[in-house]
């Protein structure tokens, strides 16, 4: 579906923002300079008649993004958690995108369930409600299982959502290509790779079997986390377009008045959600990557309930250690260590000056410390870091995009509960504990043990692998130097010795 026809999609995007009045609101929220305002109006006003009208009952920004489709709605969901970046008015408008979109009919949902599970709905559920939440990709119904009488949440994909999303993401690919052509400086940020990354992430949301598996894995990782719980998957009533889970009863995270009325400490809830996210990212390397208010509730006993596991993030052990050291370096204000970690990980080109990079990082970090808690913002820090990395030619790390984006979202959620939260004070004990576990003598022994396990699996194949590698080297050497035939026995003897040595080393390790 990619091609020039997607230009129409981009033109209509700008026209829709102008027609719905969202363009002015967005420019005001970002306090855009006069020149940018004038350029946006000149480019958008003549074509506004091409824009989608949307639902006039909705606020302008919500109206525009809802009319444009699911990918735009996802973008709006992220912004809704950042009133410090887009302003309280716009954030309030966008919050409607989280779980209060127009639903599709119950009959359509039931037909989807019957097609997917190949059973009549009445034989599965004794009760089946009207939609209780409608989001960009799916909607949720409250139901009761026939077999056990258990109250459950049934998630059903929107009809035609796969095609609708494909149309949006194809336009994003075109936009990324245009940016790379018109602005060579942007290529270091790899816009097309960024789009491809999010394309893959959201594709996972379009198969609810994958979401069910993610929920199960996440539940196993977090079963020991105090004050945190997940609904359980009911596999027999789940499929590609339908997922059934136990019902999570609680107060939505976005309803501060209800949380106060129930006697919950919003500051402690905000600190806990930050701590949980950092633990999941650093300790497990597997985290909920869509932790906005619409996906979190608070149970009567204060337990945080998370649901909607369509977008999960994964980072490997090495990347976790790098990320933790960078965070720890900023917390300790050790900017040289932060700079060295960037160079050691290959994040910054080796031809750059490490001392100069450390000074630039100091210029990023120092203004953060000593600020009033209400003014410390991860969003602002990331903005400063963007300027620094652009100067030093650092490429976008696609494996960290989801982690960084989620951290911004979680900080926004915490701030919506208590504006006084200082993210660095909350993060410090979590990061320090991870550093102690992952970079000390015990971590070294654990790494050696894991290496021995890998060698044990390849043990029987080691002599053959060594011989094969040596044979290739010998062939290349002969081709270049025409090695006499008698020297080949020397190579073979070396192969036997090395193969035997490797086997002996393996035996010693295991």
Residue 460 in domain: yes
Nearest-angstrom CA–CA distance, 464 and 495: 9
3 state SS of 143: strand
Count CB atoms within 10 A of the CB of residue 426. Answer: 19
Nearest-angstrom CA–CA distance, 471 and 306: 55
Residues 269 and 377 in one domain: yes
Residues 258 and 324 in one domain: yes
Q: Which residue range(s) make up the domain with 377?
A: 250-439
Residue 405 in domain: yes
Long-range contacts of 98-101 (CB under 8 A, 24+ apart): 98/135, 98/254, 98/292, 98/293, 98/294, 98/295, 99/133, 99/134, 99/135, 99/294, 100/133, 100/134, 101/66, 101/73, 101/134, 101/135, 101/136
Q: Last residue of a domain, which of 46, 69, 97?
A: 97
3 state SS of 129: strand
Nearest-angstrom CA–CA distance, 173 and 106: 34
Residue 464 in domain: yes
Residues 281 and 422 in one domain: yes
Residues 303 and 366 in one domain: yes
Residues 458 and 351 in one domain: no
What are the 10-residue block averages of pLDDT along the chain, 510 residues in total?
Answer: 68 83 74 64 70 83 84 72 62 67 90 95 96 88 95 94 83 76 63 74 84 95 94 95 95 92 94 93 90 90 92 86 82 88 85 91 79 64 66 69 78 87 83 79 63 66 72 68 51 42 35
Q: Last residue of a domain, which of 36, 63, 97?
A: 97
Residues 261 and 334 in one domain: yes
Q: Last residue of a domain, which of 97, 126, 147?
A: 97
Question: Which pLDDT score is estimated for 31?
Answer: 63
Contact (CB, 8 A) for 365 and 343: no
Residues 335 and 434 in one domain: yes
Structural domain total, the chain? 3
Residues 431 and 303 in one domain: yes
List Cβ neighbours of 303 (8 Å cut-off, separation of 6 or more). Answer: 227, 228, 229, 250
Residues 488 and 396 in one domain: no
Burial call 96-113: b when 16+ CB within 10 Å, e when fewer:
bbbbebebbebeebbebb
Residue 168 in domain: no
Residue 309 in domain: yes
Nearest-angstrom CA–CA distance, 474 and 486: 12
Count CB atoms within 10 A of the CB of residue 30. Answer: 13
DSSP letters spanning 170-202:
HHHHHHHHHHHHH-GGGGGG-HHHHHHHHHHHH
Residue 171 in domain: no
239: which DSSP letter?
A: -
The model carries a pTM of: 0.71
For residue 261, how far is the Cα from the chain centroid?
33
Residue 475 in domain: yes
Contact (CB, 8 A) for 184 and 160: no
Contact (CB, 8 A) for 148 and 232: no
Residues 341 and 487 in one domain: no
Beta bridge partners of 286: 314
Residues 65 and 34 in one domain: yes
Nearest-angstrom CA–CA distance, 510 and 451: 10
List Cβ neighbours of 30 (8 Å cut-off, separation of 6 or more). Answer: 86
290 as an active site residue: the answer is yes
Residue 136 in domain: no
Beta bridge partners of 233: 245
Question: Which pLDDT score is estimated for 496?
Answer: 41
Q: C-alpha dihedral over 121, 125, 128, 131, to 10 degrees?
A: -80
Closest CA to 214 of 289, 139, 317, 319: 289
Catalytic residue among 84, 99, 225, 290: 290
Residues 304 and 376 in one domain: yes
């Amino acid at each position: 579906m990619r091609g020039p026809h997607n230009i129409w999609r981009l033109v209509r995007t700008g026209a829709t923002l102008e027609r719905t009045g969202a363009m002015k609101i967005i420019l005001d929220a970002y306090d855009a300079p006069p020149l940018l305002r004038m350029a946006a109006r000149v480019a958008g006003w003549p074509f506004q008649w091409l824009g989608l009208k949307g639902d006039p009952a909705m606020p302008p920004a919500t109206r525009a993004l809802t009319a444009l489709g699911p990918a735009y709605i996802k973008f709006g969901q992220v912004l809704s958690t950042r009133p410090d970046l887009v302003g309280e008015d716009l954030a309030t408008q966008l919050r409607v995108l989280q779980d209060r979109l127009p639903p599709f009919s119950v009959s359509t949902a039931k037909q989807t369930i019957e097609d997917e599970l190949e059973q009549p709905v009445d034989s599965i559920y004794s009760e089946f409600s009207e939609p209780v939440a409608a989001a960009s990709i799916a909607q949720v119904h409250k139901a009761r299982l026939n077999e056990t009488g258990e109250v459950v949440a049934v998630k059903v994909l929107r009809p035609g959502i796969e095609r609708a999303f494909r149309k949006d993401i194809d336009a994003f690919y075109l936009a990324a290509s245009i940016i790379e052509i018109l602005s060579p400086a942007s290529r270091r940020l790899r816009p097309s790779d960024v789009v491809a990354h999010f394309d893959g992430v959201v594709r996972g949301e379009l198969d609810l079997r994958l979401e069910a598996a993610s929920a199960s894995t996440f539940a196993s990782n977090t079963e020991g986390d105090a004050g945190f719980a997940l609904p359980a998957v009911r596999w027999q009533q789940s499929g590609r377009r339908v997922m059934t889970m136990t019902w999570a009863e609680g107060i939505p995270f976005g309803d501060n008045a209800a949380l106060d009325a129930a006697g919950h400490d919003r500051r402690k809830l905000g600190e806990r959600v930050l701590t949980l996210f950092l633990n999941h990212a650093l300790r497990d390397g597997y985290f909920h990557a869509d932790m906005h208010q619409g996906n979190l509730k608070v149970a009567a006993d204060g337990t945080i309930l998370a649901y909607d596991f369509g977008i999960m993030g994964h980072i490997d052990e090495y990347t976790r250690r790098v990320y933790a050291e960078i965070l720890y370096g900023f917390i300790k204000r050790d900017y040289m260590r932060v700079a060295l970690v960037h160079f050691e990980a290959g994040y910054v080109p080796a031809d750059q000056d490490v001392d100069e990079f450390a000074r630039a990082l100091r210029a990023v970090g120092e203004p953060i410390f000593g600020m009033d808690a209400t003014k410390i913002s991860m969003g602002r820090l990331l903005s400063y870091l963007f300027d620094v990395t652009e100067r030093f030619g650092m490429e976008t790390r696609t494996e960290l995009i989801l982690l960084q984006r989620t951290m911004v979202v979680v900080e926004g959620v915490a701030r919506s509960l208590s504006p006084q939260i200082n993210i660095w004070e909350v993060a410090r004990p979590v990061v320090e504990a991870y550093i102690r576990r992952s970079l000390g003598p015990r971590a070294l022994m654990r790494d050696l043990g894991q290496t021995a396990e890998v060698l044990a699996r390849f043990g029987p194949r080691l002599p053959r692998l060594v011989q094969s590698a040596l044979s290739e080297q010998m062939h290349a050497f002969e081709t270049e130097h025409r090695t006499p035939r008698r020297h080949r026995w020397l190579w073979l003897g070396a192969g036997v010795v090395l193969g035997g040595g490797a086997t002996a080393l393996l035996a010693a390790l295991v």
